[in-house]
Amino acid sequence: MHDQIFSRGTGAVASAATRAEATGGDRVHVLLVAHDDLVSESLRRALDSECSVQIVGLVDPHRDLATVIERSRPDVVMVTAHAYDAEGLGVVAHHHEHHPDLPVLLLADCAAGPALGAAINAGCAGFVAWDGGFAELVRAIHTVAEGGVCMPRSLAADLVAQLTPAPHSPLDLTDRELEILGLLTRGMSTEEIVEHLTISVHTVRNHIRTLLGKLGAHSRLEAVALATRRGLVREPVTH
């Protein structure tokens, strides 16, 4: 089931010192949440050989996640499919409530079906399918770390369909808010939106916060999916 995500192909693996030098020490720090020790260790080994990503902690969802986050200070929390149940979604929702600016990436099974909508509602910033490639996983980690959203194309329609229907009252979105919503749908990160619109990070974040409130969304990914469902934007860019 997990062979593709763990496969990196051939080629030498650089030493930790070489990787740090190559990236200037500017790697994305990931906290991995998983029930299965074997899966956790396999992912850690695969990702630690990637020069732009560093696993800063492995934790079971039963642990006090807030304490681990405070100690490890990750840029992204990645939850595996083994925590992808009612309990796992509770962990994600609790985390998102207390750390709304720390994105959660779900490593999910494509066959998960209706639970995908619940995961969005819990606050996930993106999804990667187990049967995807390693490069896709690394790209998704960077996308959510930079404030973007992502989902596999095979899940896009299902994610939108499984969401709790949003009320069809007027949203009164401004032209700028619609523009930013469209850029989020294209997969742009906060920094990319700042550069594209030539406005401040603070302004972009305020617009996004307002968008979430008007859409009744818990996360950027949910906002994109809800906006797609309501026909405000086109189908989101997928990875």
Q: Is 118 helix (H, G, I), strand (E, B) or coil?
A: helix
Task: Render each residue's pLDDT in the chain as its tens digit; 239 residues.
Answer: 455 555 554 332 233 333 333 333 578 999 988 777 777 788 888 887 777 899 998 887 767 777 888 888 999 998 876 544 566 666 666 776 777 788 888 887 655 555 566 667 777 888 887 777 888 899 899 989 988 888 766 666 666 665 555 555 457 889 999 999 989 888 788 889 999 999 999 999 999 999 888 888 878 888 887 887 777 876 555 55
Domain interval for residue 51? 3-162
Give yes or no: residues 96 and 138 share one domain.
yes
Closest alpha carbon to 105 in 139, 66, 78, 136? 78
pTM greater than 0.95: no
Do residues 194 and 225 share a domain? yes
- CA-CA distance, 142 to 144, in Å (whole number)? 6
Query: Could you give the CA distance from residue 52 to residue 29 in angstroms, rounded to a whole number?
Result: 9
Of 121, 136, 162, which residue constitutes the final position of a domain?
162
Region class of 9: left (phi > 0), else alpha (psi between -120 and 50), else beta: left
Give tens-digit pLDDT for 63-77: 777 788 888 899 999
Residue at which a domain ends, from 110, 140, 162: 162
